[in-house]
Amino acid sequence: MDDPAPPHQLFDTILVLDFGSQYTHLITRRLRELNVYSEMLPCTQKLADLTWKPKGVILSGGPYSVYASDAPHVDPEVFNLDVPILGICYGLQELAWHFGKNVLAGEKREYGRAALNIHPRNGQEAHVSRLFEGLPDDMDVWMSHGDKLSRLPDDFITIATSANSPYAAIAHESKEYYGVQFHPEVTHTPKGTQVIRNFAVSICKARQNWTMEAFRDKEVERIRKLVGPKGQVIGAVSGGVDSTVAAKLMHEAIGDRFHAVMVDNGVLRKDEAKQVKQTLTKNLGVNLTVVDASERFLSLLKGVEDPEKKRKIIGNTFIEIFEEEAKKIAKEAENTPRAGNIEYFLQGTLYPDVIESISFKGPSATIKTHHNVGGLPEKMNLKLIEPLRELFKDEVRAIGTELGIAEELVWRHPFPGPGLAIRIIGEVTPEKVRIVQEADAIFMEELKAGKTKDGTSLYRDISQAFAALFVDKAVGVVGDQRLHGYVIALRAVKTTDFMTAKAYWFDEEFASRVSDRIGNEVQGVARVVYEWTSKPPATIELE
Ligand SMILES: Nc1ncnc2c1ncn2[C@@H]1O[C@H](COP(=O)(O)OP(=O)(O)OP(=O)(O)O)[C@@H](O)[C@H]1O
Ligand SMILES: O=c1[nH]c(=O)c2[nH+]cn([C@@H]3O[C@H](COP(=O)(O)O)[C@@H](O)[C@H]3O)c2[nH]1
Ligand SMILES: NC(=O)CC[C@H](N)C(=O)O
Ligand SMILES: [Mg+2]
C-alpha cells in the first residue's frame, strides 16, 4: 500500500531544490523553525514526477557556475507551477540565467560579511520589497560567491545592493520571483530568518501549522492506515531517544500489535536493560521483550581484539537474534485475536539520513543511499515503516516531550549499537565491562548533578560523554599496596552534528571529584585520564 498521507500532502510545503550547497539543509531547518513544513529534493527533480504541489520553491546555493556547460539547471516546469520562487546565491544566478543568460565570473570572490542596503527603488520613490518587510534599511548579511549578474533580467528590479554586489537582491514582483546573492539561512546573516519568513509566510502564504502536536496526530493516523486493522509491526529499540519516540508513536497508533525488542548484548551501560524495560513497559505502556543474550555476545567476543571484527560480530549476532524473536512473536500470536502477519519493521531513520541520501552532490558524483540498521528488513522480507524520516533530531526531542516521555530520556546522549565493546580497547572481558559500567555510572551521576555557570546541568551542556577503557594497565597505590590496575579514560565532547567535535573543559574541582570517586569506588582502576582529542583527528568513540 502506498503511503496514505505523507506530510507534504497534509501541510503547506515549501520545496527546497538543492544545488549542492553545504547550507541547503539549513533552509529546510529555518522554515521548520518557523512552523512551516519544508522538504528538500535534488535540483534534478522532474516536477511532473512530483505528486504534490508546493506553496513555493526555494533554489539553493551551489558550488557550480550557471554558465558552465555541465552546470545543473532546474526543471523549467518550475516556472509553470505558478508559485513564488526564491533563489539563493546560485539560485539567484539560476533565475538570472534562465531569464536572460546574464551571469559571468566576477573579478574576485566575495566571501564573508557584507552590508546590505535595502534601498528605495533605484533612488526614486520609496519602495521596500515584500521580501524585506520589517527589516532595517541596512543590515549585515553573509556572502559566498565568485560569479555575478551582468545586468538585470527583463522585468526584474533591484531590491537591494551591497558595495560589491549591485544586484545583491532582485525581484520580479508580479510573478513573485525573488533572488538574493547573500545567504539568509546561515546564522552569520542575523536577520536572515525574517527574509525567509517574509518569503514563506507573506509571499507564499504558507500556513505556520507544522507543530509536533499536529505531526503526532497525523502520523498516528497515517500509521493506522498503513498497517491496517490486523497488521503487526516489530521494531528494535535501544533506549535511545530515536527508537523510544518511534516506539511510543507506534504504540499510540496500533497498541499491542507493535512488538518492541531490545537485545541485551552484554555491553550496555550499567542497569540499562532493566531501566529501558521499566521505562518502555511501565511508563510508556509499550509491549517490550528484552532478550538477554549477554552471554552469547560475550562468548563470541572472547579473544577478539580487532575493532572491525568486534563490530561485525555484534552486528551479525544482533540480526540473528532479531530473526529468532520475530519468528517467536509470530508463532505466539498465531491463535490469538491479534493473529496476522508481521509485515512491517520499524526503523528510527531521521531526516538527516534521508537528506544525506538525496542531496545533490554533483552531476558526476554518485548519490549515496543510507541504510540504518544493516540489511535487516531485506533479509527478513519485511517492509519498512519509518515514522521519524521527516524529522530533525530536535524535532524528535520535541515530539518525545509532546508524547510525555521523561525529560531524562528525551535528552539522553546517543549510545552506539556496539555499546561498550567499542569503548574497551582490545579484548572485551566481563571484568572490563563491569569496570567501564561502574566508572561510567559515576561519571554520569556527576554530570547530571554538576552545573554550568548559567545553571544548566553539565550533562545537558555536553553532547556526548562516557567512560572507556585503555588497553594497558598501569601502576597505582591503594592503601599502601601496589596496584597494577586498569586505566579509565573519560571523554566528553560538544558537537552539533557528530561529524566534528571538541573536547569539553571541566573545572578542577569537578575533574578531581570524578577521578577520586572512580579511583576509590571502582575496584581494579589504577588511573583515570581525560581524553583531550578533538574530532578530527580522533573519532568520538575509541574504536
Ligand atoms: N541493544 C539494542 N537492542 C535493540 N535494538 C538496538 C540496540 N541497539 C541499537 N538498536 C537499534 O539500532 C538503531 C540505531 O541505533 P542508534 O544508536 O543510532 O539510535 P537510537 O539508539 O535509537 O538513538 P541514539 O542515537 O540517541 O542512541 C536503534 O534505533 C535501534 O533500532
Ligand atoms: O548506533 C551506532 N552504531 C555504531 O556502530 C556507531 N559508531 C559510532 N556511533 C556514534 O556515532 C557518533 C560519531 O562517532 P565516531 O566519531 O566514533 O564515528 C557518536 O555519537 C557515536 O556514539 C555509532 N552509533
Ligand atoms: N554559494 C553559491 O551558491 C555560489 C554560487 C556560484 N558558484 C558562485 O561562486 O557565484
Ligand atoms: Mg543508540
Q: What is the CATH number of the domain that holds 122?
A: 3.40.50.880
CA dihedral 359, 364, 365, 369 (to 10 degrees): 60
**CATH number of the domain that 504 lies in?**
3.30.300.10
Do residue 320 and residue 460 come from a single domain?
no
Q: Specify the 3-state DSSP secondary structure of 126.
A: coil
pLDDT digits (tens, 9 = 90+) for 163-216: 889 999 999 999 999 999 999 999 899 999 999 999 999 999 999 999 999 999
pLDDT digits (tens, 9 = 90+) for 63-99: 999 999 999 999 999 999 999 999 999 999 999 999 9
Q: Is the pLDDT of residue 431 over 90?
A: yes
The DSSP code sequence of 151-174 is SPPTT-EEEEB-SS-TTSEEEETT
The answer as to whether 184 is a domain residue is yes
How many other CB atoms sit within 10 Å of the CB of residue 148?
A: 21
Give the bridge partners for 145, in sequence order: 110
Do residue 398 and residue 493 come from a single domain?
no
210 closest CA partner among 398, 401, 429, 348: 398
CB of 37 within 8 A of CB of 212? Answer: no
User: What gap in Å lies between CA 530 and CA 504, rounded to an integer?
Assistant: 10
The answer as to whether 120 is a domain residue is yes
The answer as to whether 90 is a domain residue is yes
User: What gap in Å lies between CA 89 and CA 292, rounded to an integer?
Assistant: 54
Least confident of 123-127, 156-160, 275-279, 315-319: 123-127
Whether the CB of 200 sits within 6 Å of ligand 1: no
Do residue 478 and residue 457 come from a single domain?
yes
Share above pLDDT 70 across residues of the chain, in percent, rounded to a whole number: 93
Q: Is 185 a catalytic residue?
A: yes
Instruction: Share the mean pLDDT of the chain.
Output: 90
Q: Is the pLDDT of residue 476 over 90?
A: no
- The per-residue pLDDT for 373 is 45
The protein residue with its alpha carbon nearest to ligand 1, atom 31, reads 236
Q: Is 89 a catalytic residue?
A: yes
User: What gap in Å lies between CA 379 and CA 318, rounded to an integer?
Assistant: 13
Q: Which of 411, 445, 477 is the last residue of a domain?
A: 411
Residues 6 or more apart whose CB falls under 8 angstroms from that of 310 comprise 301, 304, 418, 421, 422, 428, 543
Ligand 2 center from residue 321 Cα (angstroms): 22
Q: Is the pLDDT of residue 123 over 80?
A: no
* Angle subtended at Cα 532 by Cα 527 and Cα 537, rounded to the nearest 5 degrees: 125
Do residue 185 and residue 229 come from a single domain?
no
The protein residue with its alpha carbon nearest to ligand 2, atom 7, reads 416
Q: Roughly how many angstroms between the first and final C-alpha of the chain, as a whole number?
A: 41
Ligand 2 center from residue 541 Cα (angstroms): 6
The protein residue with its alpha carbon nearest to ligand 2, atom 1, reads 416
- Active-site residue among 110, 185, 252, 272? 185
- Give the atom of ligand 1 at the shortest distance from the alpha carbon of 265: 1
Do residue 244 and residue 344 come from a single domain?
yes
Cell numbers at 327, concatenated: 519468528
Q: Which of 411, 438, 453 is the last residue of a domain?
A: 411
The answer as to whether 542 is a domain residue is no
* Pairwise pLDDT comparison (301 vs 543), residue with the higher score: 301
Residue with cell 566534528: 500
Q: What kind and span of H or E run contains 275?
A: helix 272-277
Cα 71 to chain center, whole Å?
A: 29
Do residue 194 and residue 309 come from a single domain?
no
- The per-residue pLDDT for 327 is 84
Least confident of 370-379, 403-412, 455-464: 370-379
Do residue 390 and residue 521 come from a single domain?
no
Do residue 115 and residue 173 come from a single domain?
yes
**CATH number of the domain that 306 lies in?**
3.40.50.620
What region does 309 belong to: left with phi over 0, alpha with psi -120 to 50, or beta?
Answer: alpha
Whether the CB of 393 sits within 6 Å of ligand 2: no
Per-residue confidence at 359, pLDDT binned at 50, 70, 90?
A: low
The answer as to whether 424 is a domain residue is no
- Active-site residue among 8, 25, 89, 110? 89
pLDDT digits (tens, 9 = 90+) for 11-42: 999 999 999 998 898 999 999 999 999 999 99
Do residue 282 and residue 334 come from a single domain?
yes
- Give the atom of ligand 2 at the shortest distance from the alpha carbon of 542: 17
Q: Which of 346, 380, 411 is the last residue of a domain?
A: 411
Q: How many domains does the chain have?
A: 3
* Pairwise pLDDT comparison (290 vs 128), residue with the higher score: 290
- Active-site residue among 8, 119, 183, 259? 183
Do residue 397 and residue 440 come from a single domain?
no
Helix residue ranges per DSSP H, 491-540: 508-521
Burial 36-71 (b: 16+ CB within 10 A, else e): bbbbbbbbebebeeeeeebbbbbbbbbebbbeeeeb
> Best substitution site from 65, 95, 110, 360 to test ligand 3's pocket, by max atoms within 8 Å of Cβ?
65
Do residue 168 and residue 295 come from a single domain?
no
Ligand 3 center from residue 143 Cα (angstroms): 9
User: What gap in Å lies between CA 112 and CA 25, rounded to an integer?
Assistant: 20
Average pLDDT for 286-314: 94
The DSSP code sequence of 37-53 is EEEEEETT--GGG-SS-
Q: Is 371 a catalytic residue?
A: no
The protein residue with its alpha carbon nearest to ligand 1, atom 13, reads 373
C-alpha separations of 507 from 452, 458, 467 in Å: 10, 11, 18
CA dihedral 396, 400, 403, 408 (to 10 degrees): 180
- Give the atom of ligand 2 at the shortest distance from the alpha carbon of 414: 20
Domain residues for the domain of 456 are: 430-530
Q: Is the pLDDT of residue 344 over 50?
A: yes
Whether the CB of 242 sits within 6 Å of ligand 1: yes
Whether the CB of 402 sits within 6 Å of ligand 2: no
The answer as to whether 535 is a domain residue is no
Q: Minimum-distance ligand to the CA of 237?
A: 1
Task: Indicate the angle between helix axes 212-227 and 393-402, nearest 10 degrees.
Answer: 90
Average pLDDT for 346-358: 82
The protein residue with its alpha carbon nearest to ligand 3, atom 5, reads 90
Whether the CB of 63 sits within 6 Å of ligand 3: yes
- The per-residue pLDDT for 365 is 38
Residues 6 or more apart whose CB falls under 8 angstroms from that of 123 comprise none
* Pairwise pLDDT comparison (228 vs 479), residue with the higher score: 228
C-alpha separations of 322 from 250, 428, 442 in Å: 18, 23, 32
Q: Specify the 3-state DSSP secondary structure of 503.
A: strand
How many other CB atoms sit within 10 Å of the CB of residue 453?
A: 7
CB of 351 within 8 A of CB of 41? Answer: no
CB of 467 within 8 A of CB of 440? Answer: yes
Per-residue confidence at 122, pLDDT binned at 50, 70, 90?
A: low
Do residue 460 and residue 518 come from a single domain?
yes
The answer as to whether 38 is a domain residue is yes
Average pLDDT for 385-410: 91
> Best substitution site from 24, 86, 90 to test ligand 3's pocket, by max atoms within 8 Å of Cβ?
90
What is the residue type of 231?
Answer: G
User: What gap in Å lies between CA 281 and CA 420, rounded to an integer?
Assistant: 25
107 closest CA partner among 147, 68, 66: 147
